[in-house]
């Protein structure tokens, strides 16, 4: 899974990064979703604009028209100047014939009432429900989404080693566990699989760690450098 696209090589959550992720062999693209002031799902990681665009302030303080005017690429390198913040609608339309997606709901510290319904509606509009995984640290949002869209694949993100990872998934209505890589053990992966759950982990590009995760039996690995993982999976 290409983390925000091939974000080690191109500005994250832009079409430049998504296209490169696929070129480097990623099977899925991971991206992040916030809402604009006028309620449009937009693709950007932070709740604030300052780090990855030439804008200032919170995403939710700006309309989608205002967000479209911002440069989301020049911060990474001059060759990427002019890259824009995509809307989720645009990404789904582009991805439909190309790839599967993992969409992260970015609640907290900015909360977006109704974001689950908006994502569900767009997935249906683009006939992408069966080609999407929706993930979040906000497990309550995952549960709400599951009630709105039964059968949609969801994943619970966490950065810890839960006392009961299966109970965590069940409470969120999730069929995928999304632990940060440093908490992954072979035993926990086996227990998850025995319970009918998948294990996707994030986010590293260290070759030794990637090899450990593959050997532990995880189902997917999210990385900023898809080409590195491809070489680990297919050594010459």
Residue 219: burial class (beta carbons within 10 Å; 0-12, 13-18, 19+): middle
Residue 96 in tokens = 């439909």
Find the catalytic residue in 3, 34, 139, 225: 3
Q: Is 129 left (phi over 0), alpha (psi -120 to 50) or beta?
A: alpha
Bond before 109 cis per omega within 30 degrees:
yes
Peptide bond into 203 cis (omega under 30): yes
Rounded to the nearest 5°, which phi and psi values hold at 157? Answer: -85, 140
187 neighbors 217 (Cβ within 8 angstroms): no
Residues in the chain: 236
Residue 45 a catalytic site member: yes
Residue 193 catalytic? Answer: no
Nearest to 114 by CA among 4, 36, 48, 30: 36
Q: Which of 34, 45, 62, 126 is catalytic?
A: 45
Give how far Cα 234 sits from Cα of 149, 173, 214, 227, 229, Å: 37, 34, 12, 10, 8
Residues forming the active site: 3, 45
């Amino acid at each position: 899974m290409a983390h925000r696209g091939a974000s080690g090589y191109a500005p994250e959550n832009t079409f430049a990064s998504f296209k490169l992720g696929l070129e480097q062999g990623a099977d899925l693209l991971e991206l992040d979703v916030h809402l604009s002031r006028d309620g449009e799902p937009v693709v950007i990681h932070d709740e604030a604009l300052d780090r990855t665009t030439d804008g200032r302030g919170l995403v939710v303080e700006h309309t989608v028209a205002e967000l479209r005017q911002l440069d989301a690429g020049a911060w990474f390198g001059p060759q990427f100047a002019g890259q824009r913040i995509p809307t989720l609608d645009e990404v789904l339309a582009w991805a439909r014939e190309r790839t599967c997606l993992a969409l992260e709901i970015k609640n907290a510290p900015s909360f977006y009432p109704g974001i689950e319904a908006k994502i569900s509606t767009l997935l249906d509009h683009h006939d992408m429900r069966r080609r999407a995984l929706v993930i979040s640290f906000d497990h309550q949002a995952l549960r709400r989404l599951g009630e709105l869209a039964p059968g949609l694949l969801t994943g619970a993100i966490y950065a810890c080693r839960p006392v009961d990872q299966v109970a965590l998934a069940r409470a969120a209505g999730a069929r995928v566990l999304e632990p940060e890589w440093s908490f992954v053990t072979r035993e926990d992966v086996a227990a998850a699989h025995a319970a009918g759950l998948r294990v996707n982990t994030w986010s590293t590009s260290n070759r030794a760690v990637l090899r450990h995760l593959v050997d532990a039996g995880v189902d997917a690995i999210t990385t900023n450098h898809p080409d590195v993982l491809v070489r680990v999976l297919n050594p010459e």
